[in-house]
């Protein structure tokens, strides 16, 4: 399917169109109305709403009052915010550092044509099927010091109080996130690797480049846009690891895994402080947008054109 991308000339579309077809093309705009309606009502309006609510007083049940800048001042003065911010970025960076190399290597690995690799790949993707709630519950059982993996494998160092010690809980969260999300990124890299033209490897082969050289000089550079796509999804997605952490640790022990999304939920729906929770939500949105823009900028603008450059 994707092979046809390069052959269909984009430029021919805009050339030599009559006025009638222009009209016809503009009329197509109607087809976007249903999607636009849903997106406006349940995504754009809430997005605006969250800004407005960040200046409001609301307990989630009663009437909504004006709070002015109070929510912002109180949240910005709250050390809890900086704890949550720090944890969010820590988990984001750690997740990227753990998941990107593994996914990339597994992507290259599963893109190979050997039978056993295809068979392994089928199993690799199993975590994609599980809900975060299911994954969290499974790992909670698995980490039971007496009836879990530690006893099963006879590895006493696994018998820790994983959910009771802050840095262990944090490490666990990063590991379980990787367990759940590496398969998805592996899939992305696998697709990326399969799109690399075989001729590049054949040429390298003739030049006498070995496997490792080929990996660093062909595979990696050719995967540049795949890396950016995967990283964008990973980084922006890491802002929303809510359900997994909620079920796994509930933000604890103490506040040691209370990331921004969880902080928002707990402030809003547990402490009934919707105003301050909305402030957190606004911060989440701003961080998400900023990161996405930054990563796109890193990738350069002419995304479509340059990937197949020089072929």
Residues between 112 and 151 that touch other proteins (CB under 8 A): 112-114, 116-117, 120, 122-134, 137-142, 144, 147-149, 151
d(CA 50, CA 73): 17
Binding mask 163-192 for other proteins (x = CB under 8 A): ----------------x---xx--xx-xxx
Complex with other proteins: residue 57 or 230, whichever CB lies closer: 230
Return the DSSP state at 216.
I
**Residue from 73, 155, 202, 297 in contact with other proteins (CB under 8 A):** 202
Query: 61 to 90, contacts with other proteins by CB under 8 A?
Result: none
Least Cβ distance, residue 3 to other proteins (angstroms)? 8
> Which one of 78-86, 92-100, 165-173, 238-246 is the stretch in contact with other proteins (CB under 8 A)?
238-246
**Concatenated DSSP letters for 269-295?**
IIS--HHHHHHHHHHHHHHHHHHHHHH
Complex with other proteins: residue 48 or 76, whichever CB lies closer: 48
**Among 189, 196, 193, 287, which residue's Cα sits nearest to residue 230?**
189
Least Cβ distance, residue 165 to other proteins (angstroms)? 20
Rg value, the chain, Cα: 24
Q: Three-class SS string for 137-183?
A: HHHHHHCCCCCCHHHHHCCHHHCCCCCCCHHHHHHHHHHHHHHHHHH
**Among 120, 102, 101, 100, which residue's Cα sits nearest to residue 110?**
120
Q: Using omega within 30 degrees of 0 as the cis cutoff, is the peptide bond preceding 253 cis?
A: yes
Complex with other proteins: residue 170 or 226, whichever CB lies closer: 226
Least Cβ distance, residue 288 to other proteins (angstroms)? 4
114 in helix, strand or coil?
Answer: coil
**Residue from 15, 167, 198, 301 in contact with other proteins (CB under 8 A):** 198
Least Cβ distance, residue 78 to other proteins (angstroms)? 18
Query: 5 to 34, contacts with other proteins by CB under 8 A?
Result: 5, 7-9, 12-14, 22, 24-32, 34
**Residue from 99, 230, 249, 257 in contact with other proteins (CB under 8 A):** 230
236 binds other proteins (CB under 8 A): yes
Yes or no: say if 151 and 174 are a contact pair by the CB < 8 Å rule: no
Determine the straight-line distance between the first and last CA of the chain, rounded to whole angstroms.
Answer: 19
**Residue from 15, 35, 63, 66 in contact with other proteins (CB under 8 A):** 35
> Taking phi first (over 0 means left), then psi (-120 to 50 degrees means alpha), and beta for anything else, what does residue 165 get?
beta
**Residue from 76, 93, 97, 293 in contact with other proteins (CB under 8 A):** 293
Query: 239 to 278, contacts with other proteins by CB under 8 A?
Result: 239-240, 242-243, 246-247, 261, 264-265, 268-269, 274, 277-278
CA distances from 279 to 19, 92, 250, 267 (A): 49, 20, 21, 10
306 binds other proteins (CB under 8 A): no
């Amino acid at each position: 399917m994707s092979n046809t991308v390069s052959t269909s000339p984009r430029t021919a579309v805009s050339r030599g169109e009559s006025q009638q077809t222009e009209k016809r093309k503009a009329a197509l705009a109607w087809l976007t109305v249903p999607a636009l309606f849903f997106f406006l009502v349940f995504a754009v309006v809430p997005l605006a709403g969250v800004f407005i609510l960040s200046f409001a007083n609301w307990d989630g049940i009663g009437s909504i009052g004006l709070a002015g800048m109070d929510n912002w001042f109180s949240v910005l003065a709250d050390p809890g915010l900086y704890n949550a911010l720090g944890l969010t970025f820590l988990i984001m960076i750690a997740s990227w550092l753990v998941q990107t190399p593994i996914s990339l290597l597994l992507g290259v690995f599963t893109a190979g044509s050997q039978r056993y690799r295809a068979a392994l790949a089928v199993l690799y993707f199993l975590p994609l099927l599980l809900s975060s709630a299911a994954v969290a519950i499974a790992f909670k059982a698995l980490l039971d010091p007496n009836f879990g993996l530690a006893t099963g494998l006879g590895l006493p160092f696994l018998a820790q109080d994983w959910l009771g010690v802050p840095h262990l809980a944090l490490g666990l969260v990063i590991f379980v996130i990787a367990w759940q999300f590496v398969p998805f990124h592996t899939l992305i890299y696998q697709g990326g690797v399969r799109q690399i033209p075989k001729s590049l490897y054949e040429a390298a082969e003739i030049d006498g480049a070995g496997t490792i050289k080929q990996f660093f000089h062909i595979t990696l550079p050719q995967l540049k846009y795949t890396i950016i796509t995967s990283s964008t999804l990973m980084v922006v997605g890491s802002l929303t690891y809510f359900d997994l952490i909620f079920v796994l640790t509930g933000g604890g022990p103490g506040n040691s895994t209370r990331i921004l999304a969880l902080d928002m939920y707990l402030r809003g729906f547990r402490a009934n402080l919707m105003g301050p929770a909305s402030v957190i939500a606004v911060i989440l949105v701003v961080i998400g947008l900023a990161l996405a823009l930054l990563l796109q900028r890193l990738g350069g603008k002419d995304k479509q054109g340059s990937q197949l450059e020089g072929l």
